[in-house]
Chains A and B, each alone.
Chain A
């Protein structure tokens, strides 16, 4: 069975600083996808970034980038120039046979 672990229940960062959220996963699959979703207080789930396992190049989306280490089964999210609107729960998700979410990291942005 696949599992996704987010070891940081809460993180905080000063506005304009950089923060990295950790995610590890366990799988025997070789072909899969990884996602980061953001859930603000409105509870709407918003896709932040997507990474295909067969791609070595790390995905980037504006201020959001990932560090994908396939051998280590690690998929961290880096948010640069943090903004107040980035405050939310962030969920790492793994997808092969089934989409599995981590428990989430609550990110607070300090002004």
Chain B
């Protein structure tokens, strides 16, 4: 099992540019989560999907952020336009079970985003 795969591992971009982060969950998992980690705010849940459907996006900071899950094996988190305060490590996680938030979540290695 390859685990949760995220790409890219590192992204450096200029303010105003569009950024797309990608995630491939563990095969067979039915829930997918996007998190952001910063020193100031710690780990925050941005959005989660269950069976490819967005369930809770209340953690998405603003309209500049959007997430999609077109199929069970792929998800994207897009920031357009990016700002320096978006600099953070973005994690994707997946889990399996009838209750998405109560089962073990397996995290990807994260994408370190730097917006200059």
Chain A: CB-nearest residue to B109: A44
Interface residue? A75 (CB, 8 A): no
The total of chain B residues at the interface (CB under 8 A) is 19
Judging by beta carbons under 8 Å apart, are B105 and A47 in contact? yes
Interface residue? B14 (CB, 8 A): no
Interface of B, secondary structure class, is: strand
Interface size class of A (residues with CB under 8 A): 20 to 34
Please report B residues at the A interface, Cβ cutoff 8 Å: 33, 42-45, 56, 58-59, 89, 91, 93, 101-102, 104-107, 109-110
In the assembled complex, the Cα of A95 lies from the Cα of B103 at a distance in Å of 9
A-B contact pairs, 15 of them (CB 8 A): A32-B102, A33-B101, A35-B104, A43-B89, A43-B109, A43-B110, A44-B110, A46-B107, A47-B105, A95-B102, A96-B101, A98-B45, A98-B59, A100-B45, A101-B44
